[in-house]
Structure 1
Amino acid sequence: MSDYVLAVGTHDPHGFSAQGEADAVRYAVGYIEARHAGELTDRPEEVATLMGPDGLVTRPSERIDEFVKRVPGDHPGIDPTAFQPGDANTPDCNGD
Structure 2
Amino acid sequence: MSFTENVAAGSHGTPAGTFRLWLVLIVATILTWQLGESRGGGLLTAIILGIAMIKGAVIAFDFMALRHAPLLWRCLLGGWLVLVCSLIGLAYWKGITP
Q: Provide the TM-score with structure 2 as the length reference.
A: 0.31
Comparing both structures, which one devotes a greater share of its residues to helix? 2
Indicate the structure with greater strand content. 1
If asked which structure has higher relative contact order (CA below 8 Å, sep 6+), I would say 2
